[in-house]
């Protein structure tokens, strides 16, 4: 491959997967932009394609491979770079794939400019995947970001120590590694200066933030203590008007903890608690460390501390051995829990996990039927929650224009709304008394199945 002049290097990025991946993709993009590369759309014509891959399900693996091959097809002479989770766990397989030129693991993303520069010089090799299980450092990346100066993602944690029986993420991301609070606060201040008004804290297992810190700042501070301390300090940053949490571990939420959260003025009343199943038998096989009843009590603690918070969740259907009775337990649990939204996943068999070896794997047709029933319930509950906002006053963060003179925005509960407002701009916060016309129609809402 011929070396290219700096001003001619056109680079395109494509992101797959979670909000953490989204933050990292934005950070890598900024790195390359600072190096003088021209950022272009993920279309034919780029000289370099970087795909931030995902491996959470078999479908994610397949999408990762498809995007790598699509990139090479768009320009056979281009440099195609696989980074991220699928590159981490399937790096050996990718080395045999002619569509992939560079393979970069999850602890090497900050070195993307160097790896690409060396590749064009012909002196750097093509495989950079370390043993993630041995990593104990949080990889610092340049300032991340979000959409059009409205909402910015801020990664504060990486890795997971939970080892749920169905999940590959600990093998793709390694052990818990937390970002230094001072560096986190420094980035949040820069985001405020750039014009972002809402920050979303992200991590692979956010509730474990700080447990790897030494001494009083770590495990001695208690589960969730370092996160609560960080939230309190973020709350003081001028210019940041909202703080939103990503996914939380259900076991974190006690009544005292929920009350402490409610005293953080800028924290949005929107909490994503990953349930996975409403059946104690299935939860035990999943190696989830709580019961359905304990989960309900944690939800009740949040509802006592916040006025009508938006509670959302994830559920896996068709886990190995899930009987019809166990599925019905989950359905009844969801009816009682009354979530705002439920994201439904069909169990994906992953080689290398404990669940892969479990007997009584559930047929795909059964998974599909169960998923459809949960999605139907989720749509009903979503509509009911949103209708319950009618007549209330809400602060709306404007995001982007829609057709006509409508603008898309979100309430503190993360409900998408469309409103008309004088002098709109991304990132502007406006007050609105919600009417039926502000609610999005069914086709405009987020899909529920992943």
Predicted TM-score (pTM) of the model is 0.91
Helices (H) and strands (E) in the chain, counts: 13, 19
Predicted confidence at residue 2, as pLDDT, reads: 44
Q: How many CB atoms lie within 10 A of CB 227?
A: 26
Q: Do residues 100 and 68 lie in contact, with contact meaning Cβ atoms separated by under 8 Å?
A: yes
Task: Output the six-digit token pair for 213.
Answer: 């810190």
pLDDT for position 1: 44
- How far is it, in rounded angstroms, from Cα 172 to Cα 105? 9
Spans of the chain, pLDDT less than 70: 1-8, 142-148, 215-223, 442-450
- CB neighbourhood size of 228 (10 A): 18
> Can you state the angle between helices 181-194 and 225-234, rounded to 10 degrees?
30
145-162 as b/e: b if 16+ CB within 10 A: bbeebbbbbbbbbbbbeb
Q: Which residues does 109 contact at the CB level (< 8 Å), separation at least 6? A: 24, 27, 28, 83, 84, 139, 141
Q: Find where tokens 């886990």 sit.
A: 319
Tens of pLDDT, residue by residue over 169-214, are 999 999 999 999 999 999 999 999 999 999 999 999 999 999 999 8
Chain centroid to Cα 431, Å, comes to 28
Place of tokens 């829609």: 402
Residue 178: per-residue pLDDT: 96
CB 85 within 8 A of CB 53: yes
Using an 8 Å Cβ cutoff, are 174 and 158 in contact? yes
pLDDT at 215: 67
The pLDDT value recorded for residue 404 is: 87
Structure tokens at 61: 């693996």
How far is residue 181's CA from residue 183's CA, in Å, rounded to a whole number? 5
């Amino acid at each position: 491959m011929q070396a290219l002049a700096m001003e001619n290097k056109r680079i395109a990025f494509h992101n797959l997967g979670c909000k953490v991946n989204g933050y990292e993709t934005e950070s890598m993009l900024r790195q390359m932009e600072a190096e003088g590369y021209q950022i272009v759309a993920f279309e034919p014509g780029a000289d370099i394609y970087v795909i931030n891959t995902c491996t959470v399900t078999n479908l994610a693996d397949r999408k990762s491979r498809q995007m790598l091959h699509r990139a090479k097809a768009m320009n056979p002479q281009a440099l195609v770079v696989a980074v991220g989770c699928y590159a981490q766990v399937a790096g050996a397989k990718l080395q045999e794939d002619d569509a992939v030129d560079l393979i970069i693991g999850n602890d090497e993303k900050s070195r993307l400019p160097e790896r690409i520069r060396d590749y064009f010089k012909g002196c750097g090799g093509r495989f950079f995947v370390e043993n993630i299980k041995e990593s104990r450092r949080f990889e610092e990346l340049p300032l991340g970001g979000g959409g059009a100066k409205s909402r910015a993602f801020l990664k504060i944690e990486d890795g997971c120590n939970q080892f749920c029986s169905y999940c590959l993420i600990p093998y793709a991301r390694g052990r818990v590694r937390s970002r230094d609070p001072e560096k986190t606060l420094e980035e949040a201040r820069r985001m405020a200066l750039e014009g972002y008004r809402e920050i979303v804290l992200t991590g692979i297992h956010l509730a474990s933030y700080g447990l790897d810190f030494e001494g009083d700042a770590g495990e001695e501070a208690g589960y969730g203590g370092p996160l609560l301390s960080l939230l309190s300090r973020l709350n003081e940053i001028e210019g940041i008007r909202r703080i939103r949490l990503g996914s939380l571990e259900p076991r974190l939420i006690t009544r005292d903890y929920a009350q402490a959260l409610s005293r953080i003025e800028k924290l949005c009343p929107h909490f994503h608690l990953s349930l996975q199943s409403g059946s104690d038998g299935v939860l035990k096989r999943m190696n989830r460390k709580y019961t359905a009843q304990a989960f309900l009590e944690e939800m009740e603690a949040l509802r006592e501390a916040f006025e009508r918070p938006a509670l959302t969740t994830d559920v896996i259907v068709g886990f190995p051995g899930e009987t019809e009775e166990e599925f019905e337990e989950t359905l009844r649990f969801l009816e009682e829990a009354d979530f705002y939204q439920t994201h439904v996943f069909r169990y994906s068999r992953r080689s290398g996990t404990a669940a892969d070896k479990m007997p009584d794997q559930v047929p795909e047709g059964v998974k599909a039927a169960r998923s459809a029933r949960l999605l139907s319930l989720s749509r009903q509950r979503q509509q009911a929650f949103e209708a319950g906002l009618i007549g209330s006053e809400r602060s709306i963060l404007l995001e982007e224009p829609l057709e006509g003179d409508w603008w898309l925005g979100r309430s503190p509960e993360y409900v998408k709304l469309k409103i008309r407002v004088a002098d709109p701009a991304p990132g502007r916060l406006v007050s609105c008394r919600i009417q039926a016309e502000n609610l999005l129609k069914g086709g405009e809402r987020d899909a529920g199945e992943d």
